[in-house]
Structure 1
Amino acid sequence: MAQLDGNSAAAGDHSHVVIDIGAAGDGDSRRRSSSSCAVCTEPLEWAAIGPCGHGDVCAGCSLRIRVFQNNRRCCICRAPCRVVVVTKHVDAIAAAAGGGGGGWRAVSSRLPRSQTGGGGYSQVEGRVGEHWWYHAGMRAFFDDERQYAAATAAARPPSCGKASDDDHRPPQARSTSVGNEQHRISRRDPPDEHEQHVPQFVEAVLIGLLVVAAVGLVVLIICVRL
C-alpha cells in the first residue's frame, strides 16, 4: 500500500502512535523492525511508531486502519495509539538503536509542544514547528511534507461531482453519454414505421396547400379580367 499514515486521536494526550518505518524498540532486543509492512507485507519505506515502540506498519495501512476503520490501536500489540509519527524506516531504526529510552521516546521528544499549556503536543492542522506537519484527522505527525500532503489527499472523501447515480446501477442499466435517438442512429437501425409515415403525411399536406393556393390564384386572376 502507499506509504501514508492515518491517525485519529485525542488532543493533548501523550498516548501517541508514530507511523514510522523502523520498528522502534524501547532498547529491547525483542522489538526489531521488519523490512516489510506487517499488514500488506510490502517493503517498508515510511512507517508509524507509537508509544508501544512498534513501527512495523506502513503509512498507507496506518491511514486505512486509523482513518477509514477508526481503529487507533497498534496492529502488533493492540495498545492504544492515539497519535502517531510518520517517519522513514531507516530513521526509526536509528532512533531505536540510539538508546535513551527507545525509538518512541527518541522521536516524540522532538515533537513540538502546545503553546496553550498542559504539556501536550501541538495539534494544529498543517505545519507545526520547524520540521513537522500535523494531520488532525489522522492524529499523526509527519517529518516529511510530501508524505503529509499525500496522506491529506488520500484521507479526503471523494467530491459529490465525481460519482453519479449511474455508478450504483448494474452496468447494463447505466446510461451512456449518447441519447436514445443518437444511439439508434449510431447503430444504423432502420427508422420506425411511424417515422416513415410522418414525413409522407407532411409532404401530402404541403402539396395540397400549394394546389389550393394555385387554384385560388387562378380564380382571382379570372375574376379581375372579367
Structure 2
Amino acid sequence: MTTHRHTTTRESYDTVATDYEMLLRDELAKSPFERAMLGVFAERVLAAGGGRVADLGCGPGRITGHLASLGLDICGIDLSPQMVAVARWAHPRLRFDVGTMTALDFADGCLAGALAWYSTVHTPLAELPEVFEEFHRVLAPGGLLALAYKVGDESVHLGHAYGHPLDLDVYRFPPDRIAELLGDAGLLESARLVREADGPGTPASTPQAYVLARKPE
C-alpha cells in the first residue's frame, strides 16, 4: 500500500539523487566505525558460505559497491527510481531495482544477508515491526542482517537538504527498543556499536548505532 509518507519520501529522494550521490560519494572513507561493522558483516556472511545479499534502501549504491568490493554477491533495492538510476550509473556492474522494504520481491529464505544502512530512518517506530518481519521472511536460516540508524527518541523534519527542498521526517531510535523489536520479529541481535556524535554540521551530528542480527538456524 502506498502512503503519503512513501510518496513524499520517494519524491524527495528523486529530487536529490544526483547531488546526494556526489556529496556522499566519499563519506565512507571518513567513517572507520561504519567500515568496521560493514567489514564484520561481509566477513561473517562469507564465512557462513556466502550467498545472495541485498542492500535494502540502497540509495545511490555507495554501500552496495563497497560490500561488492569485499567479495559479497550483492544487489540493491530502493524506493526512489531516480536513486536506482544513479546507482546503476555509478556501479554499472551491480544490479539495482526499485522496490519497498515492506514488500520485497524476494522468495522466502533466499538471502544470506540483508542490509538496511540508515534506510529505516524515515519509518516511524510503530511501523518498524512490519519492516523487520519482512527482513526475517527473506533471510535464510542463519542469515545476517546489518542495520545502521540514528540514536534517540525523537524525529526531525527536513524541509531542505542536499541543495533542494524536501519533505522528509527523520526518526531516531533507542537501541534497546530496536533490539526488542528485532527479537519480536525473530531476529537476534548479536552485536551493537553505538558511537557518539561528531558535532554539529557533520554527517554524524547525532549518536549513531550499527547492529548485526541473525535469523536463527
TM-score range, shorter chain: under 0.3
Larger radius of gyration: 1
Q: Quick one: higher RCO (CA 8 Å, sep 6+), 1 or 2?
A: 1
